[in-house]
């Protein structure tokens, strides 16, 4: 009797509130993407640069030319999929639209490729956005993502450590050099929370890794304030 009742309840729920693909809205059996959208996402896999995660054609167990030329301040960067025209729509939905629902799915995917690293780290912090931008956008997508990842991995989420002290121009559309200049000196560590960093392994969460300028600047600030290691997690990365 109970089984029949729970079957009826789940059927009723499926009809009234069907599970839909988080990208195109097509009805699916389980949460996530429909098969068509799943196939279109370029999931990142090995081989790749040991530091920044740039994908390689063949496994050479080495660093990419950029990391050889100048090692970034972060120790490793991990992303889930390539940022291209297709995945952009998913990322933009998360940034400006139905954040909570998509966030859960994005966090599950990112945790799949970074769970071990998160569990072995000390704290997780989001790349902050400036107060004015937050007022406009109402939420910071990196905070939502970091919060969930911290919960999955059982490590403390600390959104107040890193601060965006300067309101900067949008990074999108700027050249690599212009990005570096734009972001330089725009973050700092809140003195009150600096003790949380000393010798610790920090997970830094952002939405997309483009040139790595933001991730690098934040990592520099965190390391200068005493962080031992910084691992950057982003849901997507631009293939350069
Ligand atoms: Zn779909
Ligand atoms: Zn690299």
C-alpha of 193 from chain center: 22
> Inter-axis angle of helices 99-119 and 141-153, to 10 degrees?
50
Q: How far is the CA of 56 from the centre of ligand 1 (A)?
A: 28
Q: How far is the CA of 112 from the centre of ligand 1 (A)?
A: 20
Residues with CB under 5 Å of ion ligand 1 are 21, 23-24, 26, 34, 37
Determine the pLDDT at residue 99: 64
Domain ranges of the chain: 1-40, 42-237
Determine the pLDDT at residue 102: 82
Determine the pLDDT at residue 14: 62
Determine the pLDDT at residue 179: 73
**What is the CATH number assigned to the segment(s) 42-237?**
3.40.50
SS3 assignment for the chain: CHHHHHHHHHHHHHHHCCCECCCCCCECCCCCCCHHHHHHCCECCCCECCCCCCECCCCCCCCCHHHHHCCCCCCEEEEEEECCHHHHHHHHHHHHCCHHHHHHHHHHHHHHHHHHHHHCCCEEEECCCCHHHHHHHCCCHHHHHHHHHHHHHCCCECCCCEEECCCCCCCCCCCHHHHHHHHCCCEEECHHHHHHCECCEEEEEEEEECCCHHHHHHHHHHHHCCECEEEEEEEEECCC
**Ordered mean pLDDT values, 10 residues apiece, the chain (240 residues):** 64 68 85 88 92 87 89 96 92 75 88 97 95 80 95 97 83 73 86 96 95 93 97 92
Predicted structure pTM score:
0.87
Q: How far is the CA of 60 from the centre of ligand 2 (A)?
A: 12
Q: Structure tokens of 132?
A: 């004015």
CA separation for the pair 164, 193 (Å, rounded): 15
Q: How far is the CA of 81 from the centre of ligand 1 (A)?
A: 16
């Amino acid at each position: 009797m109970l089984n029949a009742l729970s079957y009826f309840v789940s059927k009723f729920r499926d009809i009234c509130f069907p599970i839909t693909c988080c990208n195109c809205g097509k009805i699916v059996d389980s949460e996530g993407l429909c098969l068509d959208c799943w196939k279109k996402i370029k999931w990142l896999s090995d081989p790749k640069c040991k530091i920044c995660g740039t994908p390689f054609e063949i496994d050479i167990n080495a660093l990419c030319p950029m990391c050889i030329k100048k090692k970034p301040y972060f120790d490793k960067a991990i992303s889930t999929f390539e940022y291209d025209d297709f995945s952009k729509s998913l990322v933009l939905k998360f940034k400006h639209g139905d954040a909570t629902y998509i966030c859960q799915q994005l966090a599950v995917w990112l945790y799949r490729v970074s769970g071990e690293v998160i569990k072995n780290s000390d704290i997780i912090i989001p790349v902050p956005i400036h107060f004015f931008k937050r007022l406009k956008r109402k939420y910071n997508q990196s905070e939502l993502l970091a919060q969930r990842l911290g919960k999955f991995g059982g490590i403390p989420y600390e959104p107040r450590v890193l601060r965006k002290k300067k309101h900067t121009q949008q990074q999108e559309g700027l050249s690599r050099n212009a990005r570096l200049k734009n972001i330089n000196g725009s973050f700092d560590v809140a003195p009150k929370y600096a003790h949380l960093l000393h010798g610790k392994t920090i997970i830094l969460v952002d939405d997309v890794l483009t040139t790595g300028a933001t991730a690098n600047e934040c990592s520099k600030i965190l390391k200068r304030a005493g962080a031992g290691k910084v691992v950057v997690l982003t849901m997507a990365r631009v293939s350069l």
